[in-house]
Amino acid sequence: MKNIFYSNQLFVSIRKYSLLLLCLIPTAGIKARVEQGKTPVDYVNPCVDTHKSRWFYFSSASRPYGMVSLSPDTWVKGGWNSGYLYDSTEVRCFSHVHCWQISGVPVMPTTGEITGHKGMEVYKSGFSHDTEIVKPGYHQIILDKYGIKAELTATSRVGMHRYTFPQKETANLLFDVGALLGDGAMEKAAIRRISAKEIGGYAVMAPTSRRKRTCTVYFIAQFNRAISEFGGWEKVDKDKQLTTKQALEGEDIGGYVRFKRLGNAPLLMKVALSYVSEEQARLNLKAELNHWDFDRTVEDSYAEWNHELGKIQVEGGTEQEKIKFYTDLWHALLGRHTYSDANGKYTDHTSDIPKICQVPLVKGIPTRNVYNSDALWGAEFNLNILWSIAYPKIMSEFVSTMVGYYPTGGLVARGPSGGNYTFVMVGDQAIPLIAAAYNKGIQDFNLNDALAGSIKNAEPGGIRDHAGYETDANKYMTHYIEKGFVPENIPGKGSHREGCAMTLYFAYQDWCLSQLAKGMGNDSIYRKYYNRSFNYRYMFDAQTGWMRPRTQDGSWLKDFAPIGKGFNMPGFVESNAAIFTYYVPHNLPDLIHMLGGKNTFVDKLNQQFEWAAPYNFISPHGQHAQNWVDYENQPSLHMAHLFSHAGAPWLTQYWVRKIKQDVFGDITPYGGYNGDEDQGQMGALGVLMAIGLFDVQGGASTEPRYEITSPIFDKITIQLDNRYYAGKEFIIEVKNNAKENVYIQSARLNGQSLNTYYFPHSELIKGGKLEIELGPKPNTAWGIE
């Protein structure tokens, strides 16, 4: 990829130091330091909300959706509060995989004696944010204990390291390949010297409660100078001991390489990964990084990030808003990672014997990537919409990734990790994505498998019968088909086995499937699932006015309350009735009718927002039962947008702006997402709120559309992908934008007055212009259907 933003290397180092400030200095001080000609990369602040983190949340040296996600780990041993934590003071290693349920290949440069066998708690080093630079595609950190300057960058599948050692010290690199990093231990690892400048190995990740089979990450590491000594450590009885064996294999082993004094010259290393084989890792290296110019790789990283982030350009707004915007978008493009190799090979682990698969090729180039991915639970309200607007190729690839497991494992996937199902959360999370892709004209995937697999998923024995981490199919769908709903307390061993929420999800997913079938012209399938999509009605208790769980005999669950305490209220997945009552995204007119008509609906919902406001519209993570609205977690993410559907679009405009600011406004390490950013989902929601586009139906309708709220920027330019869409760009121009001017006064689409609060997807993809005029008071005549 050409570097289209920078003309020389000097510029790189200037930027590095300006970004350091972004990481540390709160908002107020920033405006004075704004440079002219800043690029999207310059606005991204990777440190936002890093005071607590998930293993996969942070990754500095990574390309968009790159296989390698390399960064300093300040804490390890687990999936939560691990990886890069801002307030930790010590670096334990630089590891290459920060992904849902997978991790691997930690490296630590040291000096002096080899201490690898003593473990990270011994060889870790202090560091300071004062000497740190963090950017999308570059990380510099000084390891105070050793006096080593460590710099990291990456291509998609190759991490590149530049270490500057103290002049008089022997340079060591420890490869603690058997160590526990994120979710799950390493069952076995291997490392060996291959040649004077190359080592290789692998780590077999043990199964976890979520990822039920092993997954192996292979690596090749190459150096820019000859190794002077190779060795490692292995278990002898109960202790780990150093050894000079040139090839180690087993539990808890590690290896090291040493180099003679380097003087001023930095040590360069390239670490290529593959989930297929060592040979494939080497091919990835050859394909992506055939030189030793570290600065060029950094520049290429910035260029690629700018290219992707630049697909949505914003003007106006405050500096803080721009920083948050591109940080949001960066998370949306970073949270999930490539699983397939540069030549399109990947390993399928859905059966006992791992199977090497190959995506189709054109002129030898893979037509798509396959991804490792956490749940798409709730992605109908964020990633699905964002992808369909600005990243249709990514949307297509994720569809193919999910559908690609149907031929091998018999189900369209949910949260595929390590080449296998993880059964994370509940329901069929792929069908909202698939239906939205198809109905938005993204149709270059296996349509037969997509439909057949989605039908399989919607019937007994399909993916809906696997609640959280249930490997064996349960009986949810049998109940759902017989009774119209999933009762509570079906025997089982999984998590999230909450019948009322499942019923509401299944009804929406039935509708999504009906829309896919309708779009594809399959009338009988359409009618079957469209009829089932009304099953949410079985959950509505007209007496209390809430969706309410039922028992197996059909009676309402006793001791019911709309909110409460704890992880969730009975019947609701990480949530409560107050929130799930609104989970009928596919038939809001009917929901509004059930809740007493538009006025009553608006009053009730508005009351909930008023009650939730003092708590910033969130529940603390893990305490999902307690709030009336909860923008920390997926089931609630469309709630502010519902007013538009009930004749009060100005309330949508008001609350969306407020939530954007109050919940998602912070750009310090201590806020910004208020909990679980969840692999780009909250980032994508922030982007949608900022540009003023949404769709409570998640785009799955055969007539998909975009609902408008007031954007926070003056001008938004969306580059359309001409592989899928006819238009060049879609521009949103906002007049009279100001902090207090949150209300839409009028709108024009391509010069024509627009009096609905939405416009069709078909208009967006033609390219054109949406003009929105804002004001400080609601125009209650605008946008009423």
Closest CA to 689 of 139, 317, 254, 206: 317
Nearer of residues 356 and 481 to a second copy, judged by Cβ = 356
Burial 526-554 (b: 16+ CB within 10 A, else e): bebbbebbbbbbbbbbeeebbbbbbeeee
* Residue among 37, 263, 364, 614 that touches a second copy (CB under 8 A): 364
Tally of CA atoms within 13 A in the half-sphere of 399 that contains its CB: 32
Residue 377 in tokens: 């639970």
Phi/psi at 494 (5° precision)? -85, -175
Q: How far is the CB of 385 from a second copy (least distance, A)?
A: 20
Establish if 316 lies at the interface with a second copy (CB under 8 A).
Answer: no
Q: How far is the CB of 409 from a second copy (least distance, A)?
A: 12
Q: Please identify which residue in the block is written with the tokens 């090979």.
A: 345
Q: How far is the CB of 706 from a second copy (least distance, A)?
A: 20
Establish if 726 lies at the interface with a second copy (CB under 8 A).
Answer: yes
Cα first-last separation, the chain:
46
Residue 345 in tokens: 């090979």
Nearer of residues 189 and 451 to a second copy, judged by Cβ = 451
CA distance 301 to 630: 36
The neighbour count for residue 77, using CB atoms within 10 Å, is: 16
Nearer of residues 247 and 447 to a second copy, judged by Cβ = 447
Residues in 549-568 at the binding interface with a second copy, rule: CB under 8 A: none
Q: What is the DSSP letter of 557?
A: P
* Residue among 324, 337, 345, 705 that touches a second copy (CB under 8 A): 345
Distances (CA, A) of 451 to 446, 447, 508: 9, 6, 16
By the 8 A CB rule, do 131 and 141 touch?
yes
Residue 523 in tokens: 């009338």
Establish if 37 lies at the interface with a second copy (CB under 8 A).
Answer: no
Q: How far is the CB of 755 from a second copy (least distance, A)?
A: 29
Angle at CA of residue 371, ends 365 and 372, nearest 5° = 150
Q: How far is the CB of 420 from a second copy (least distance, A)?
A: 15
The helix or strand, by DSSP H or E, that contains position 44, with its residue range, turns out to be: none
Nearer of residues 421 and 445 to a second copy, judged by Cβ = 445
Establish if 411 lies at the interface with a second copy (CB under 8 A).
Answer: no
Residues in 264-293 at the binding interface with a second copy, rule: CB under 8 A: none
Q: How far is the CB of 202 from a second copy (least distance, A)?
A: 17
DSSP-H helix ranges across 164-214: none
Q: What is the dihedral of CA 267, 62, 285, 221, to 10 degrees?
A: 40
The helix or strand, by DSSP H or E, that contains position 307, with its residue range, turns out to be: helix 294-309
CA distance 70 to 154: 8
3-state SS assignment for residue 219: strand
* Residue among 363, 558, 752, 753 that touches a second copy (CB under 8 A): 363
Residues in 474-533 at the binding interface with a second copy, rule: CB under 8 A: 520-522
Nearer of residues 283 and 323 to a second copy, judged by Cβ = 283
Size of the site for a second copy (CB under 8 A): 32
* Residue among 408, 606, 717, 779 that touches a second copy (CB under 8 A): 408
Q: How far is the CB of 704 from a second copy (least distance, A)?
A: 14
Nearer of residues 407 and 768 to a second copy, judged by Cβ = 407
* Residue among 723, 728, 735, 739 that touches a second copy (CB under 8 A): 723
Nearer of residues 193 and 345 to a second copy, judged by Cβ = 345
Angle at CA of residue 360, ends 358 and 364, nearest 5° = 95
Nearer of residues 246 and 446 to a second copy, judged by Cβ = 446
CA distance 651 to 674: 23
Closest CA to 634 of 587, 600, 669, 583: 583
Nearer of residues 451 and 637 to a second copy, judged by Cβ = 451
Establish if 361 lies at the interface with a second copy (CB under 8 A).
Answer: yes
Residues in 437-456 at the binding interface with a second copy, rule: CB under 8 A: 441, 443-449, 451-452
Nearer of residues 77 and 528 to a second copy, judged by Cβ = 528
Q: How far is the CB of 399 from a second copy (least distance, A)?
A: 10
Q: How far is the CB of 220 from a second copy (least distance, A)?
A: 16
Q: β-pairing, 743-749 with 729-735? A: unpaired
Please identify, among the stretches 95-103, 177-185, 320-328, 361-369, the one whose residues bind a second copy according to the rule CB under 8 A. Answer: 361-369
Q: How far is the CB of 344 from a second copy (least distance, A)?
A: 8
Q: Where along the sequence are the contacts to a second copy (CB under 8 A)?
A: 344-345, 356-364, 367, 404, 407-408, 441, 443-449, 451-452, 520-522, 723-726
